[in-house]
Each structure stands twice: as structure tokens, then as C-alpha cells.
């Protein structure tokens, strides 16, 4: 069990995907994403979400991401945020997103 203070250490924000490209150098199929978090700016990420999405589908989509992990080098991409998703019945990632548009940079609480 964790405390609320432990949970509060995670900074989970909503952002809008502004750019998405195939990431052929990744070990597993993935996309390179650029996500706009409003006042936090645009951050890059790598996401293994190729089963359910195309780069074109992702543009303009709101996503949730952890924005306070240290950057991580994934191949040639410096991933600055962790975009969040859940596994479907086959274990493929489905993105987590608000069910209505919300302002970019909004914090999950």
C-alpha cells in the first residue's frame, strides 16, 4: 500500500499530440510522439501503440502522461514523458485519455 503523498509525487498531465512518426529503429514497433502540454511545453516520447493507431490518428488526440520522470534514451529518441495506456485483451496498448476536451497541461488528481 502507498499513501496519498506517494501518489501525489507522480505528475500526470494531459497533452495534445502535435506530431507522430514511425520509429523503425525501436526494438518493438513504436511511434515517436511530440505532445504539447501547454505551459509545460512540447515533450517527446516513444510509444508502443502501433496496433491500434496510425500516426495520422494520433494528431490532435489528447493523452495522459507522466511528466516528472527523468528523460530516458530509447534508441535515437530522448523520451521526456511516459504516455499512459492500458492493455487490451491481447496485451496491446490502448491510450488513456479524457472523455471530453480539457485544457492542455491539466494535472490528474
CATH of the domain at 30: 2.40.50.140
Is residue 103 a part of any domain in this protein? no
Is residue 106 a part of any domain in this protein? no
d(C-alpha 36, C-alpha 3), whole Å: 30
What is the maximal distance between C-alpha atoms in the chain? 40
d(C-alpha 42, C-alpha 80), whole Å: 10
**The pLDDT value given to residue 27:** 87
Is residue 45 a part of any domain in this protein? yes
Is residue 44 a part of any domain in this protein? yes
Q: How many domains would you assign to the chain?
A: 1
pTM: 0.94
What is the band of 70 on the pLDDT scale with cuts at 50, 70, 90? very high
d(C-alpha 108, C-alpha 96), whole Å: 12
Number of residues that make up the chain: 109
* pLDDT tens, position by position, 7-31: 999 999 999 999 999 999 888 999 9
Domain extent, residue 64, equals: 4-95
Is residue 109 scored above 90 in pLDDT?
Answer: no
Amino acid at each position: 500500500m502507498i499513501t496519498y503523498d506517494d501518489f501525489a509525487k507522480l505528475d500526470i498531465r494531459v497533452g495534445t499530440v502535435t506530431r507522430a512518426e514511425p520509429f523503425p529503429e525501436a526494438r518493438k514497433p513504436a511511434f515517436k510522439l511530440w505532445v504539447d502540454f501547454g505551459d509545460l511545453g512540447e515533450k517527446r516520447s516513444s510509444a508502443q501503440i502501433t496496433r491500434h493507431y496510425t500516426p495520422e490518428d494520433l494528431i490532435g488526440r489528447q493523452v495522459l502522461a507522466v511528466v516528472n520522470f527523468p528523460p530516458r534514451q530509447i534508441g535515437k529518441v530522448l523520451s521526456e514523458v511516459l504516455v499512459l495506456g492500458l492493455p487490451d485483451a491481447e496485451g496491446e496498448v490502448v491510450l488513456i485519455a479524457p472523455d471530453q476536451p480539457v485544457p492542455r497541461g491539466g494535472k490528474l488528481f
